[in-house]
A and B are shown apart, each in its own frame.
Chain A
Amino acid sequence: MALLEVRDLRVSFDTPDGTVHAVRGLSYDVEAGQTLAVVGESGSGKSVSTQTITGLTRGAKVSGTAFFDGTDLITADQSTLRRLRGAQIGMIFQDPLSSLHPQYRIGWQIVEMIRAHDKEISKQAARKRAADLLTLVGIPRAAERIDDYPHQFSGGMRQRVMIAMAMALDPALLIADEPTTALDVTVQAQVLNVMRRLQEQFGTAIILITHDLGVVAEMADEVVVMYAGAVMERAPRRDIFYRNHHPYTQGLLASLPARSGDRLTPIPGTPPSLISLPKGCPFAARCSHVFDKCRAEAPPLIDVARDPRHQSACWLPHENSEAIAS
């Protein structure tokens, strides 16, 4: 059994303009110690889905299941979720400056987290642990800097502080929501290195939410490509890059800057409104391979080339996935 099994997760919000279907039937597994990358553009539902299973979404209609270590997070009450958050599921977010409280010292913020779950530990011991964690994530002179405020750190260092805090109680799962998006490219690599090193050391599973396929190539074991709240393609990392099937995945790859200096090939058009979704495939309006059936009926997620680890929600023939990639 996987560490986290999400099945048919649906999240919608009632707004004055209508019901927003942010997540529509999302399923995935996260194995212990592995990294699952959830890829998609803004508004594809990737952040909403993880925030929903951790109980951080407010005012949403939710259905489906999300079994974490035997507990269904969707039906669990707030106090159960609260005990899991931080202790079993660590989280880091996109902007480390706004994600750390500006008015508390970073040591205080880490100690608060440790002591929220470990009632036995003394203040001194928690502080010592916080300093050790800061050293572990590569903050120089951690013992001195533990009493600094977030604004006294650089962006990369702040994200290291967030990682130290998220990893403080050795969680089984780390949810990293666009952890490097707000950082310089050189710093991105350092932060990813820290995450990978800690993952190897502690055997943490990671859900990595990103729109950056470069990050996916660095980190992921499995990849889920989301579009308009639904999974378009799911595959091991190599297959996503080399044997992909879905035209949306191909579009994402084509819009990456290539080393050759060619111009980028953007995907034309914009994603559909999540309030009034088209009847057929949500990507149909932007797809270069579209045909009549796509507009009439949404394709189910089915195995590509009879490989159960590789699935794609597309009506294009599944037998020989490389044929259409050209």
Chain B
Amino acid sequence: MAMFLLRRIGHGILVLWLISIAVFGLFFVAPSNVAQTLAGRQATPETIALIKHRLGLDLPVWKQYLHFLGNALKGNLGFDYYHQVPVTKIIAGALPITVSLALGAAVLWLSLGVFNGVISAIHPRSLADRGLTLFALFFYSFPSFLLGLLLLYFLYFRLTLSGFKWFPAGGYSPLAGGFGPWFQHLFLPWIALALLLAATYTRLTRGSMLDVLGEDYIRTARSKGIRESRVIVRHGLRSALTPVVTQFGIDLGQLIGGVVVTETVFSLPGLGQTAVVAINQQDLPVIIGIVLFASAAVVVANILVDIAYAVLDPRVRLH
């Protein structure tokens, strides 16, 4: 177990290092005019050169990279080009929003997906199965921005016009400012994200559950005379959840790194939206910081998935 963790963490660091090189390289391949933007339209070439010098952009790319790497190893991801705010602080500010969005949606899509999947699997090819499959595929094939906009139109715009101010048009209210406003601001984004992802989980749970319900040990469980609900949940779902947990870990890891479309539609200043803004402004330190953080989230999620595998299935040994 310790060996497994060490090796996986080693791999993770290698991956992050390669990603940092890739992002750095990509940034300098594209034409850059940060200094020009900062200096304004009327700036003299001298001003622009000064700004370039201040930001370290006049150094050779490899020197800039080594500089960045040295600082990053000390936990300093640099400062953003425009307001000189530490990148770590920017990430720390945006992270709770993305985490709130991702975790809340995760609760919804997991319960919805697993429940629907189990119902479908218990009665395959029944009306319920077909209905739930249709429901899942409908939202699965929906463009995510459109789903968000429709939710806003009906549940914010029309509802507010009718005198029910239940949901705001967007934005975020921190949990510290009260559970109610936090919940109200996140409810529509949760729904938008969960409906999109629930389909995968419905299909995954259904397929996995159908396989498991055909297993010999399910017949054994029935032969023991235990209640059918217990056969389905304790014996069937217990085994069927393994692939679901894998998918869940990977999805959650990806979402923690930023939910670009949903955050943008609902004006949530999470990591995804921050990254989009940074890319538009060519704000290299912020871009690199968020990309590295998002990659780290995926790497950690993958390690956790493997650990969860070993916890869920006693036959799995971690080496």
Point out residues on A near B: beta carbons under 8 Å: 54, 56, 78, 82-87, 90-91, 93-95, 98-104, 112-113, 116-117, 149, 151, 162, 165-166
Contacts and interface: CB of A to CB of B under 8 A. Distances in A.
Contact of B217 (A78, A100, A116): A100
17 contacts: A54-B223, A56-B223, A82-B226, A85-B222, A86-B224, A86-B225, A86-B226, A95-B216, A98-B216, A98-B217, A101-B235, A102-B217, A102-B313, A103-B312, A113-B224, A113-B226, A151-B315
A107 to B, nearest CB: 13
Given A100-B217, A103-B239, A85 B224 contact: yes
A287 B315 CA distance: 49
A86 B314 contact: no
B interface, size bucket: 20 to 34
A86 B226 CA distance: 8
B216 A93 contact: yes
B130 interface: no
Contacts of B228: 78, 82
A78 B225 CA distance: 10
Contacts of B222: 56, 85
B226 A149 contact: no
A84 B224 CA distance: 9
Which interface residue of A87, A94, A112, A165 has the most chain B CB atoms within 10 A? A112
Nearest to B312: A103
Which interface residue of B224, B238, B312 has the most chain A CB atoms within 10 A? B224
B314 A117 contact: no
Nearest to A98: B216
Given A85-B222, A101-B235, 17 more contacts: A54-B223, A56-B219, A85-B223, A86-B224, A87-B225, A91-B220, A93-B216, A93-B219, A94-B216, A99-B216, A99-B220, A100-B217, A101-B239, A103-B238, A104-B238, A113-B226, A165-B224
A78 B222 CA distance: 11
Contact of A100 (B220, B225, B226): B220
Contacts, number: 72
B211 interface: no
B310 to A, nearest CB: 12
Given A98-B215, A99-B216, A101-B217, A112 B314 contact: no
Nearest to B313: A103
A101 B224 contact: no
Closest 9 CB pairs of A and B: A86-B225, A85-B225, A98-B216, A91-B223, A113-B224, A86-B224, A101-B217, A116-B226, A99-B216
B225 A99 contact: no
Nearest to A117: B225
Interface in B82-127: none
B221 interface: yes
B108 to A, nearest CB: 27
B227 interface: yes
Nearest to B215: A98
A162 B235 CA distance: 16
Contacts of A85: 222-225
Contacts of B225: 82-87, 113, 116-117
Contacts of A165: 224
Interface string B207-221: 000000001110111
Contacts of B219: 56, 93, 99
Contacts of B238: 101, 103-104
Nearest to B217: A101
Contacts of A90: 223
B24 to A, nearest CB: 46
Nearest to A152: B314
Nearest to B236: A101
B224 A116 contact: yes
Interface string B286-318: 000000000000000000000000001111000
